[in-house]
Structure 1
Amino acid sequence: MSQSSEETKAALTDVRKAFRLLWAYNKRVFHIVQRINEQLGFTFYYTDNWIAPKSSGSDFCTRWAWDALPTVTTGWLMLRPNKKEDGTIVTRPGDQSNNPLKGEMLLHILLVSDSGFSDVYAKQKSEPDPLKFAAPESAESRLILSIYVNDVDRTEKLNWYDSIFKPNASKADFLDNFKKENLNNNIRRYSKSYLLEEFLDDEGLMSRISEFQDGAQNALKVSLGLS
């Protein structure tokens, strides 16, 4: 076998290893997201993923190669309805995702697996080229947590994603380490950015959740958690 054939075989072995490592990484990330969601008392609403494969009928080969690697950066949206002191949910008309009531909240968990990708993507519309990324050793993997609080009863036929989240979120959100903001249209937000490695063991995971919960509760004057 020629040297080039041996090199190709070795490269494909590395690809197989990379897929298996990525599987393990995704499993851990999904566990982290679920724990944050559960501990803060939210329920799944929507996945905000702007580089995910479309339907299986689309021509996959004409899309970005990054579309096959959606967890390079993904956002999960969770909703929390108003609750009584005993933890039971306040009865409300209609769908929770539409016409939010005063006090209802949205949690956004934004995964940035490679800041090299995100730094380039935030500045352009074309497919990010890995050759232009920061070196893997100097790039970061981050998790950005944000709580949005709705301060008025909504009756104007709007929903959390299209009318509240999208107008107030941007590609550059991950650049800020901490912020408490009064946004447009009676919405308040508290955000904090963490290094992903702070969440990888269970002790660190629970510590960071507790830290974020305390910070959000104090900044927004709301109650979070299982009750």
Structure 2
Amino acid sequence: MPDVDPALAEALTDVRKAYRLVWSYQRRVLDLAKIVLGAFPEHEFYAWRPRAGDPPPQLTGDPLKRWAWDFVPMAEACILFLPGGADRNAPKAGEWMVELRVRVDSGHEGYEAEGEVDPARFDPAERCTSSLWLYMWLCDEGVSKNWYNWVWQRGPWPDVDGTPVPHPGGPFRIVGQQVDLATLPDRASVETMVADFRTMATQALGVPA
């Protein structure tokens, strides 16, 4: 049997610990998403999308041709919720979509590189942050457009100062809020944060809470 390289064995131990920690983080994010959805009982899951890469390849997708980021899609991801029974291809006036966006590492922000992003070039983890954003996308006038492909994909992410921003291509307005994940240690803190966001967003957009 080949001899074990002590340095490599130690490094792989660190990798096992890291994967277990990542699992724990992702479990927490998914539980957080359920709490967010619970604050909008009239809504249901619609779609999700990673933002730090592409979704992982399907069964016949060649992983050797993909970035490593594609296999950690929860590093930065967006989850969208629509009113139950809403027509995804025909938003109606007064309907609004809720977006939850979570990013584990602000080191990715503003990073410029040709080709695959290399986290070894990020700022030190101690100087970075982990954040959560909530957005409300309000339809002001019914249109025959798809919520994901035409509204969300083409819309801006506004500043998070509570000021609604118009959609550049249609009758929609968006308002958002950003929160440091380190300020959300438990369920109660998440519930309070989401309730505050709903109050702020509905007032800013002028719709019933």
TM-score by length of 2: 0.89
Q: CA deviation at 1:181?
A: 1.2
CA distances 1:24-57 after superposition (whole Å, capped 9, x unpaired): 1111100101110121232100012242212121
Percent of aligned positions that are identical: 27
Q: Which residue does 1:85 correspond to in 2?
A: none
Q: Give 1:7 deviation, angstroms.
A: 1.1
Counterpart position of 1:75: 78
Which letter maps to 2:148?
Y
Task: For CA contacts below 8 A with separation 6 or more, give which structure has more relative contact order.
Answer: 1
Q: How does the TM-score come out when normalised to structure 1?
A: 0.82
Structure 2 alignment gaps of length 5 or more: none
**Structure 1: unaligned runs, 5 residues or longer:** 82-93
- 2:159–2:176 Cα contact (<8 Å) kept: no
| Aligned-partner Cα distance in 2 for 1:72–1:177 | 24
Aligned residue number for residue 167 of structure 2: 183
- Report the counterpart of residue 168 of structure 1 in structure 2: 155
Alignment partners' CA distance in 2, 1:178 and 1:218: 10
Q: What CA distance in whole angstroms lies between the structure 2 residues aligned with 1:46 and 1:37?
A: 13
* Other structure's SS at 2:109 match: helix
Q: How many residues align?
A: 203
Q: Which residue of 2 aligns with 1:86?
A: none
Deviations 1:134-177 (A, max 9, x none): 110011100111000001122xx4210111111113xxx48755
Paired AA for residue 159 in structure 1? N
Q: Which string of whole-angstrom CA distances, capped at 9 and with x for unpartnered residues, describes residues 190-212 of structure 1?
A: 10111112223112111111111
- C-alpha separation in 1, matches of 2:142 and 2:199: 26
Equivalent position amino acid for 2:73 in 1:
P
In 1, Cα distance between the equivalents of 2:135 and 2:81?
10
User: Which amino acid in structure 2 is aligned with residue 67 of structure 1?
Assistant: D
Alignment equivalent of 2:116, drawn from 113, 116, 127:
127
- Map residues 116-155 of structure 1 onto 2, 5 A cutoff: 116-120=107-111, 123-124=112-113, 126-154=115-143
What code does the residue aligned with 2:178 have? S
| Offset, 1:21 | 0.9
CA distances 1:75-127 after superposition (whole Å, capped 9, x unpaired) = 0011026xxxxxxxxxxxx962111111111111111111112331xx45621
Find the counterpart in structure 1 of residue 198 from structure 2. 213
